[in-house]
Structure 1
Amino acid sequence: MWRGPRMEVDLIRAGLRGYVGFLRHYSAQHETARRLEALQESARDLMIVGMHGGGTLRSVCHGDLWKLNMMFRYPADEPAGAPDGVMLLDWQHCHVGNFLVDLFSVLVNNTDAAFRRRHTADVLRFFHDELALALREAGLQPSDVGLSHEQLVADYQASKKAALMRVIFDVVLPLAADDATSGADPGAPPEQLVDRLVEAMAVKTTDQQLERLLLELADEMSEQGVI
């Protein structure tokens, strides 16, 4: 179980710190930056409760599910078409807990805000139907475990704040001005690498796509009352 060791908690706080600094460059985002900054001290509790205690159902979770940890397989006879399989990589954050954090991570890291506004409801409906089918095939009725479409949607909404903490770390890490671990002492303890990452978190990026993603995410989460 993820218990929030110093390295992970500090990295999550580093992500928040980097995101807050980034948003402060935009006058329209100052209030959002202030609200995010207020989450610094509660980040550990949000992660533990949201990742492990949130949701009606508990399952094996990946814990770091984003596009760089996904490898897609394409049909040999139609390599330019849709993938017919996916392999998940990097399971070092695997745990039993709230799988909706993984779902949120996939959506935020692989789609834009416009897509999410149009299609999140459809994704949740599809996800519920597939999960219900898997339960029936295992000899269980969805009602036996408290799974309804309405409950899944409510659980997803309630999981967003914890999921956002995790996603912020994923998307803000590329803002590092350089490789924070380069130049570290050989065999440096995790604490030293964490401190270097915190110091290296840049607060401005020239990458227009990443800039747009970060600003859209802030607007979207503010509109939904997550922050």
Structure 2
Amino acid sequence: MNLLNLDELLLIAQRTLEQKDVLILDSQLNRGSNDLLGYMGEYYKLNLNVQTRGDAIRNYNLIYFVKSLPYQNEPQKAECERKGVFPKESLIYAKILPNIQKYGTKKLFPKCYYCRQDVIVLEDLGQNYRHLNASTDSDSLDCCKLILEHLSELHACSIAWEEKENISIDQLYGEDLNELLLSRDNSWFMTGLKGIIFLAQRHPDYQDEWSQKFIKEKLYDILLKTEEFAKPSKYLRNSFCHRDAWQRNIFFKFPSTEDQTSPSSCCLVDFQLAKYCSPCLDVLFVLYMVVSAEQRKDVNEDCLEHYFNSLQSHFQRLGLPRDLVTRQRFLDECEQMRLAGLLIFDYYLNEDRSGLYLKVIKEQPGYEQIIMTPIKELLEYILKTKQSEIMP
């Protein structure tokens, strides 16, 4: 199957080199390695050998990252088409991200050279960036703060686009930025809720009659209400949010000097879950998916403050009123939305495997404590903050 025809390849090369007189000498499209595999798409590396003819003849070897509908897997392809995953991300790369980037001071995302409703051609970040190596790179806190700085600039630049050009991202593209994660239309989300209920009923700290009744009769409805968090906030200034900033969707750039082990910058990929909503969702996603549970208890306040200060510095740079997002409103909304972060943290609940839980718990000592820790954190938060919904 030829994903891209010769005219499309020529256009990609012309956009890359910013000139028209380009000749395609050779092209290769190879399936990506296993670490590039994803559920919502197939990934490739595109190599173009091209020649330009101007004042002098020059040859170039151009490398791109290509993602397409999963044509090799019909059920996944049908699911992507049903959810409109690729039309959504193509629109984001074509119409939203370029308008955000022009207010930025650094690369916020990979450059898009071409997109259709079923394929997106991006610069290959792997040439200059890489994923973190958990065994050799610096601790997650430094990286977490770097990601939060990056997100604060993405958020601030999207607000600057609205303020300076008198537009509303929600009015222009709200219907296109459909929710794909916190939605009852998402089977991962719904099955995850059932998995949480299953494990909560088994938690040794909640075996009393009242707790079991609460878990059985009320917990599911409370968890389902996290759908509301994905809608634009009525309390805090909304922004364009990435919504999926976990390790595999973040590329880091490291200084060339060997004594510098901490990354100097990062770049976000995969905007399929992006939404116009409260920036707190992005912040919480990072805190619950990048920082370990043990570390999060110690650094949560520090990270929230770091993000807020970074956001305010971008407001100042962009000439935006600092009270567009106040500290108190930001902290209040983070606390209110923490349930969404806790829910996402239970990422292992993305398929119905109740029987597998019991099997592994029986065979592997210590596994039960590992999977029950986030369940307890979730229940503690709900019992503390949702008393009006819990009490009869």
TM-score (norm. length: structure 1): 0.71
Alignment-derived partner of residue 178 in structure 2: 2
Whole-Å separation in 1 of the counterparts to 2:330 and 2:340: 16
- How far the C-alpha of 1:41 sits from its partner, in A, is 4.2
Alignment-derived partner of residue 104 in structure 2: none
Residue 42 to residue 220, structure 1, CA distance change in 2 (3 Å): closer
1:75 and 2:255 matched: yes
- How far the C-alpha of 1:136 sits from its partner, in A, is 1.3
The 5 A counterparts of 1:99-178 are: 99-143=279-323, 145=324, 147-168=325-346, 170-173=347-350
Residue 171 to residue 109, structure 1, CA distance change in 2 (3 Å): farther
- How far the C-alpha of 1:101 sits from its partner, in A, is 1.4
Please tell me whether the aligned partners of residues 100 and 156 of structure 1 are also in contact (alpha carbons under 8 angstroms). yes
SS at match of 2:205: helix
Quote the RMSD (CA, aligned, Å): 3.2
Residue 43 to residue 27, structure 1, CA distance change in 2 (3 Å): closer
Residue 80 to residue 36, structure 1, CA distance change in 2 (3 Å): farther
Please tell me whether the aligned partners of residues 62 and 94 of structure 1 are also in contact (alpha carbons under 8 angstroms). yes
* Aligned residue among 179, 183, 188 for 1:11: 188
After superposition, what is the alpha-carbon deviation per residue over 1:1-48, rounded to whole angstroms, capped at 9, x for unaligned?
33566541x32121121222234343224538954873434655422x
Please tell me whether the aligned partners of residues 236 and 333 of structure 2 are also in contact (alpha carbons under 8 angstroms). yes
Whole-Å separation in 1 of the counterparts to 2:372 and 2:281: 21
Alignment-derived partner of residue 357 in structure 2: 203
Question: Which structure's CA Rg is the greater one?
Answer: 2
Whole-Å separation in 1 of the counterparts to 2:317 and 2:355: 47
- How far the C-alpha of 1:79 sits from its partner, in A, is 7.3
The 5 A counterparts of 1:43-82 are: 43-47=223-227, 49-54=228-233, 55-78=235-258, 81-82=261-262
SS at match of 1:83: coil
Partner AA of 1:121 in structure 2:
E
After superposition, what is the alpha-carbon deviation per residue over 1:133-178, rounded to whole angstroms, capped at 9, x for unaligned?
11111111212x2x2222211110011123333443x3423xxxxx
Whole-Å separation in 2 of the counterparts to 1:79 and 1:96: 40
* Aligned residue among 174, 179, 201 for 1:24: 201
SS at match of 1:115: helix
Whole-Å separation in 1 of the counterparts to 2:260 and 2:216: 41
Whole-Å separation in 1 of the counterparts to 2:318 and 2:367: 42
- How far the C-alpha of 1:211 sits from its partner, in A, is 5.3
Residue 80 to residue 53, structure 1, CA distance change in 2 (3 Å): same
Whole-Å separation in 2 of the counterparts to 1:142 and 1:36: 45
Partner AA of 1:161 in structure 2:
L
Whole-Å separation in 2 of the counterparts to 1:208 and 1:83: 36
Partner AA of 1:90 in structure 2:
D
Please tell me whether the aligned partners of residues 245 and 282 of structure 2 are also in contact (alpha carbons under 8 angstroms). yes
Unaligned stretches of 5+ residues in structure 2? 1-176, 387-392
SS at match of 2:240: strand
Please tell me whether the aligned partners of residues 254 and 261 of structure 2 are also in contact (alpha carbons under 8 angstroms). yes
Whole-Å separation in 1 of the counterparts to 2:297 and 2:191: 28
Partner AA of 1:52 in structure 2:
K
Partner AA of 1:50 in structure 2:
F
How many residue pairs get aligned? The number is 199
1:217 and 2:346 matched: no
Please tell me whether the aligned partners of residues 11 and 198 of structure 1 are also in contact (alpha carbons under 8 angstroms). no
Unaligned stretches of 5+ residues in structure 1? 174-196
* Aligned residue among 208, 216, 220 for 1:40: 220
Alignment-derived partner of residue 88 in structure 1: 268
Residue 37 to residue 129, structure 1, CA distance change in 2 (3 Å): farther
Please tell me whether the aligned partners of residues 241 and 282 of structure 2 are also in contact (alpha carbons under 8 angstroms). yes
Q: Greater strand percent: which structure?
A: 2
Residue 76 to residue 24, structure 1, CA distance change in 2 (3 Å): farther
Partner AA of 2:334 in structure 1:
Y
Higher RCO (C-alpha 8 Å, min separation 6)? 1
